[in-house]
Amino acid sequence: MHVQSIALLVIVILGGTAVVAAMCWLRAKAAGSDALWGGSRPACDPCNTVSMLVSVAGYFAVLYYVFVRLDPPEVLIGVGPASPSCSPSSFSYSSRRLCGCP
């Protein structure tokens, strides 16, 4: 695993642990459950729970893609396509500047 991937994994684990710990701490307090759900009606709790579980599944799908499918040395963020073109369909301002386009 690439060094950048390991660093991201450590951040994800530490951040996830902090979020779960905070939720457990809030739940343990007397009024913690209301604070945890933002004061929503109890009838909405099942819907909130299902939406959170769907969100977690999506988060894990993105993490799978980032850790398994992406190759860190080939990922460029903020510089546009690997071979910039000056076509009007270019979606990145920085890629147009790299090839000398106005």
CA distances from 95 to 33, 37, 85, 88 (A): 48, 43, 7, 11
10 Å Cβ neighbour count for 99? 13
Is the pLDDT at 91 greater than 90? The verdict is: no
Contact 71, 13 (CB under 8 A): no
Whole-number pLDDT of residue 97: 46
Instruction: Find the helix or strand (DSSP H, E) in which 25 lies.
Output: helix 3-28
Give the confidence band of 11 by pLDDT, cuts at 50, 70, 90. Answer: very high
- Please tell me which residue, 80 or 50, carries the higher pLDDT value: 50
**Greater pLDDT, 77 or 44:** 44
Contacts of 32 (CB under 8 A, 6+ apart): 25, 26
- Confidence (pLDDT) at 85: 53
